Chain A
């Protein structure tokens, strides 16, 4: 069953590969980086497919690629900034672990998924709107009819709960 789902998601991935690459390219503006992100997404999605039952694979794949592309883009510009002005500016930040290249273990995925499912409904909703849909605190506050500072508190609570789930192992 799990194996079947994994094959299915890989097939969906391959069938949409060029569109996924295009989605990454729009965010990154660089074909090589877009290709890296798509490769990385494939590896991570394969792991995730072994752990989760993904009901809407196409939407999920596009969301993952967008997420990873945004994370990648942020890391690149961030690390260029971090080392600017250090030494003669030629310093290559090769020792910094790119999270994109981080191997995400299945156990960690399971624990974090379980932790998210345990959250109170409103906390989980606020977190998913922020993390998965990329909504701003203000938009989430309006949707849930709460203050933006409470939105922030709920997101922190969600992350802390996930952290505790990983630490308890």
Chain B
């Protein structure tokens, strides 16, 4: 049963990443409300979302890889 907490935190992480991905494409006002609601449900949501946002920022600083035919 020790795994059930891990599974929960993986699920929270997955949801946080999904929000960051959706934000990157743009959120409607309704979706934004939904995100804010999700963040306010649980501090763990906020933490996962902050971690995912930070990781997202780092990935944006990596230059694009070389073309395959280089």
List chain A positions with a Cβ less than 8 A from chain B: 44-45, 47-48, 52, 54-55, 60, 64, 67-68, 71, 74, 78, 81-82, 97, 99-100, 102, 104, 108-109, 112-113, 116-117, 121, 124, 127-128, 130-132, 134, 136-137, 152, 155-156, 158-160, 162-163, 166
Known interface pairs A48-B61, A124-B65; 7 further A-B residue pairs with C-beta atoms within 8 A, sorted by A's residue number? A82-B36, A104-B57, A116-B59, A127-B59, A131-B59, A155-B21, A159-B59
Query: Given A55-B63, A131-B60: A156 and B14 within 8 A (CB)?
Result: yes
Q: Is the CB of B24 within 8 A of A60?
A: no
Q: Within the complex, which residue of A44, A97, A130, A132 is in contact with B50, where a contact is CB–CB below 8 Å?
A: A97
* 28 A-B pairs with C-beta separation under 8 A: A44-B61, A48-B61, A48-B62, A64-B60, A74-B23, A81-B32, A82-B36, A82-B39, A97-B50, A99-B56, A99-B57, A100-B57, A102-B54, A109-B58, A109-B62, A112-B55, A112-B58, A116-B62, A117-B65, A127-B59, A128-B65, A131-B60, A137-B25, A156-B18, A156-B21, A158-B59, A159-B17, A159-B21
- Chain A residues lying within 8 Å of B59, measured Cβ to Cβ, are 112, 116, 127, 131, 158-159, 162
Q: Does B68 contact A (CB under 8 A)?
A: yes
Q: How far is the CA of A81 from the CA of B35 in the complex (A)?
A: 11
Q: Is the CB of A54 within 8 A of B68?
A: no
Q: Is the CB of B63 within 8 A of A130?
A: no
- Chain B residues lying within 8 Å of A74, measured Cβ to Cβ, are 23
The size class of the interface chain B forms with chain A is: 20 to 34
Q: Is the CB of B57 within 8 A of A102?
A: yes
Query: Given A97-B50, A112-B58, A159-B56: A54 and B63 within 8 A (CB)?
Result: yes
